[in-house]
Structure 1
Amino acid sequence: MSKPPLHPSAETWLHILFGDDNGGGHLAGQGVEGKTEFPDYWTLSRIESAILNIHERALTVDSLEPTILFDGYIDGILLRVVLSVDHKGQRVLKTAHPLRGNGVFKIINGVRVSKPLLRQDRTK
């Protein structure tokens, strides 16, 4: 059975892409310390599509009530999408970010460090 579509708020998108007081900031070029960035060749619409569709294609799903973690691949990028369940029992997008893959970088001490897929990633 298909999962209901997500309808993230503007605030959620701003958090994921540009960051806020709670974290986020995963759009390429944001330079947020300790955060991974989507590949710079991914457009905003590509990021949106990947995030909204990953829970349909997830390789792993971990439920830590009320949070649900979906990890999966989109175009060779390992993504994590985090949903929560609201008081009505509806899934709500909380955040999302790339874990590893071609073009994924993590900001460490102000330096962009490449985060390629690992051997164990390829066997999932």
Structure 2
Amino acid sequence: MAFESFAHVPVTEELLRHVWEGEKDSIKGGHRHGLRREGKTEFPADWDLAMVDASIRAVLSLPESIRVRGPELICFRQVGEVLMKVILRSNSAGLFIFTAYPVSGHGVIINQKGKAIPCPLDLSVLEF
């Protein structure tokens, strides 16, 4: 099923920094491989910031699934061997990206209780 494109929503340097490195409090953002932030997924080790940027733009251009949760639009798309999630919110200026991160896939891990646990590709979230 094809959806409207959100390609007009800007992918800012601030957003990319948030997704890649995160904030100082270690709770928000930070999905770069090796950061080991508790409860966070990490991009595959071979991904760089350019790949993250391209994957976010791919999700925005043609999401495979969209969920509405209150004021948020949650968009999913498989990019290569990784399932990506991009959360959009709106303000008076229009839609903006609240966050983006890998959900599952080849090389994606989640940090739980000090351990890096693999997250195999799971496309069930794309089903309605």
TM-score when scaled to structure 1?
0.86
Instruction: Write the distance in 2 (CA, Å) between the matches of 1:71 and 1:119.
Output: 10
Matched, 1:108 2:75: no
- Consecutive unaligned residues in structure 1, runs of 5 or more: none
1:46 aligns with 2:60: no
1:69 corresponds to 2:69: no
| Partner Cα distance (1:2, 1:100) in 2 | 23
Cα pair 2:76 2:126 within 8 Å, conserved: no
Q: How does 1:17-28 map to 2 (within 5 A)?
A: 17-20=20-23, 21=25, 22-28=27-33
Alignment RMSD (CA, Å):
2.2
Question: After the TM superposition, which of the residue ranges 30-39 and 109-118 deviates more from structure 2?
Answer: 109-118
SS in 2 for 1:63: strand
| Change beyond 3 A, Cα 1:12–1:100 | same
| Residue 60 (structure 1) shift | 1.0
Which 10-residue stretch deviates more, 36-45 or 51-60?
51-60
1:78-112 C-alpha deviation (Å, 9 max, x unpaired): 11001111113x21011001010000000111111
- Relative to structure 2, which stretch is displaced further, 104-113 or 8-17? 8-17
Aligned residues: 123
Q: Which amino acid aligns with 2:54?
A: S
Aligned residue for 1:7, secondary structure, equals coil
- Sequence identity (%): 26
